[in-house]
């Protein structure tokens, strides 16, 4: 039997989604299409009157701005955002994990404090934008002259940014920056860290102490070193000592329950919520069942689906924390004269996504079906196992930066348009939502989830493939982002507060 070029995602839906280009006059669910329907786009499968809800995934994604006839293309020209919610249906059980799944191990680095690392990097961290150039110069020199002597070190990583001065020493802006940088200085995938300041900035090095294991954590100011070139020379001496310590680390077996993975999506399309996101959700369920942690984030991109998450909260306290994050975002965007429905980008819309409600319903699928065990603020240290939520913007680099600062030792990133991304020191897996993207950007994509839409794979089967790749990557297999060299420029702390 020929495979149908369309799919209906829920019994209550009044639209179908094209899985391949559909010509006018084609038959979809017993109706005749009236216009061309591009892959990822929606077609009405019944008449939808003006002002009625358009339903996809069994949930409202907005209301019509005109009478829509069965067979019509449904998109921005006849559908707009309206803040509707349909009742959450009963939660289905998470993907079943076997005893063998739960007993899995990976080969990782056991740190002195007992935590499990998936990589063994040394970080060169800037406390302020003024020290970024020197940090890059230090990392370049260390990778050229020190790294060749140590097979056990993955590299020297510059963590640089554009903040640290010209801001208040108190308030949200400094609190978030400090929490983010502190999270990176203690990140488990950094066997050692050298933090570099200028000396006169607001974000002083003394705020970070000398936390860490012995001589593997160091810091100094450029002004105290006598200038930029001397700072590089001084750093080389320190890094040789750090490398001698960090280079001794060896991978040992440890439970996959010690994997903490950040879940991301960017450059989404109409397939993201049908293929890559739910498949990643299966992998997240399997990891959670084994005692691991999956961090769902991007608050502005779960807006409209938050009621589905809160229905899975393990307690009223967890549900209340999620509600508070949503309320904060509503106030935040209103203060700046914006709307959360501004979120779908032009690329999202070309891929078939129309409203933030539709995008969110697909995005939340990354979290699988496990109970929601905890809610965290941006870059807060994640300690709870299972599925947790971290409050972050939807902008991918900022969101992933918060997850890594919170302790994620891996990132899994779905995309439908072709986002390129890395997030050192955490390896980043890229999952394409459609096969055309995988074929055109195979050098950047680790797994093709588009085979779900064509009927050549199931969500469950693809989820297990992702799960296996997560374990292999934790053991040291390089992701395609790592092989190309992504990860030095994607550290982007959330910038809050006034620039002074």
* Locus of tokens 């940090």: 135
Q: In what order do the strands lie in the sheet with 79-80?
A: 53-56, 59-64, 79-80
3-class secondary structure, 452: helix
Q: What CATH number corresponds to the domain at position 69?
A: 2.30.130.110
Q: Please state the rounded mean pLDDT for residues 425-438.
A: 97
- End position of a domain, from candidates 248, 269, 296: 248
Kindly report, residue by residue over 292-325, the tens digit of the pLDDT.
999 999 999 898 889 899 999 999 999 999 999 9
Same domain, 21 and 76: yes
Distance between CA 310 and CA 327 in Å, rounded?
14
The token duo for 9 is 């995602």
pTM of the model: 0.93
Kindly report, residue by residue over 75-103, the tens digit of the pLDDT.
999 999 887 766 666 567 888 889 999 99
Kindly report, residue by residue over 262-279, the tens digit of the pLDDT.
999 998 888 999 999 999
**Residue 233 forms part of a structural domain:** yes
Query: For residue 212, how many C-alpha atoms fall within 13 Å in the half-sphere facing its CB?
Result: 28
Q: Are 37 and 73 in contact (CB under 8 A)?
A: yes
Same domain, 228 and 280: no
**Residue 173 forms part of a structural domain:** yes
Q: Look at strands 260-265 and 59-64 and give their pairing.
A: unpaired
The partner residues of 196 in beta bridges, in order of sequence, read 126, 220
Number of structural domains the chain divides into: 3
Same domain, 171 and 133: yes
Kindly report, residue by residue over 37-66, the tens digit of the pLDDT.
999 999 999 999 999 999 998 888 999 999
Same domain, 40 and 159: no
Same domain, 283 and 228: no
Same domain, 388 and 258: yes
Q: Is the peptide bond before 425 cis (omega within 30 degrees of 0)?
A: yes
Q: What CATH number corresponds to the domain at position 239?
A: 3.40.50
Same domain, 436 and 477: yes
**Residue 1 forms part of a structural domain:** no
Determine the Cα angle at 132 with ends 127 and 135, to 5°.
Answer: 90
Residue 339: per-residue pLDDT:
77
Q: Please state the rounded mean pLDDT for residues 389-410.
A: 97
**Residue 92 forms part of a structural domain:** no
- Segments forming the whole domain that contains residue 12: 6-80
Same domain, 133 and 223: yes
- End position of a domain, from candidates 28, 48, 80: 80
């Amino acid at each position: 039997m020929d495979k149908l070029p369309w799919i209906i995602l829920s019994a209550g839906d009044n639209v179908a989604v094209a899985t391949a280009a559909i010509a006018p006059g084609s038959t979809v669910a017993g109706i005749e299409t009236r216009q061309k329907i591009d892959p990822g786009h929606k077609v009405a499968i019944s008449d939808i009157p003006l002002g009625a809800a358009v339903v996809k995934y069994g949930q409202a994604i907005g209301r019509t701005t005109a009478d829509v006839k069965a067979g019509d293309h449904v998109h921005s020209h006849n559908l707009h955002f309206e803040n509707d919610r349909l009742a959450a249906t009963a939660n289905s059980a998470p993907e079943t994990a076997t005893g063998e799944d739960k007993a899995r191990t990976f080969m990782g680095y056991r740190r002195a404090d007992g935590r499990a690392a998936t990589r063994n990097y040394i970080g060169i961290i800037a406390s302020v934008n003024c020290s970024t150039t020197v940090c890059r110069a230090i990392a370049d020199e260390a990778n050229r002259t020190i790294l060749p002597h140590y097979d056990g070190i993955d590299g020297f990583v510059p963590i640089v940014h554009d903040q640290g001065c010209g801001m208040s020493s108190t308030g949200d802006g400094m609190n978030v920056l400090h929490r983010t940088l502190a999270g990176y200085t203690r990140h488990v995938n950094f066997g050692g860290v050298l933090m570099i300041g200028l000396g006169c900035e607001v974000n002083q090095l003394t705020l970070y102490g000398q936390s860490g294991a012995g001589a593997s954590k160091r810091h100094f100011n450029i002004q105290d070193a006598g200038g930029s070139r001397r700072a590089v020379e001084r750093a080389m001496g320190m890094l040789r000592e750090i490398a001698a310590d960090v280079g001794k680390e060896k991978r040992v077996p440890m439970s996959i329950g010690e994997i903490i993975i950040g879940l991301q999506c960017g450059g989404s399309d109409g397939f993201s919520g049908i293929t890559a996101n739910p498949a990643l959700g299966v992998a997240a369920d399997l990891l959670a069942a084994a005692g691991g942690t999956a961090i769902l984030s991007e608050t502005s991109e779960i807006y409209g689906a938050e009621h589905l998450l809160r229905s899975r909260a393990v307690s009223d306290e967890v549900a209340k924390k999620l509600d508070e994050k949503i309320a904060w975002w509503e106030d935040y965007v209103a203060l700046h004269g914006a709307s959360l429905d501004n979120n779908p980008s032009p690329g999202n819309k070309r891929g078939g996504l129309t409203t933030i409600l539709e995008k969110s319903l697909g995005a939340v699928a990354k979290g699988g079906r496990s109970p929601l065990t905890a809610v965290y603020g941006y870059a807060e240290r994640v300690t709870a196992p299972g599925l947790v939520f971290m409050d972050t913007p939807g902008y991918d680099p900022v969101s992933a930066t918060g997850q890594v600062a919170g302790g994620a030792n891996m990132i899994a990133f779905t995309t439908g348009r072709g986002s390129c991304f890395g997030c050192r020191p955490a390896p980043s897996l890229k999952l394409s939502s459609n096969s055309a993207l995988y074929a055109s950007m195979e050098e950047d994509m680790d797994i093709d989830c588009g085979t779900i839409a064509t009927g050549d794979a199931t969500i469950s089967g693809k989820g297990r493939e992702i799960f296996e790749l997560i374990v292999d990557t934790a053991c040291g297999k390089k992701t395609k982002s790592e092989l190309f060299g992504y990860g030095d420029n994607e550290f982007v702390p959330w910038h809050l507060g006034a620039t002074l």
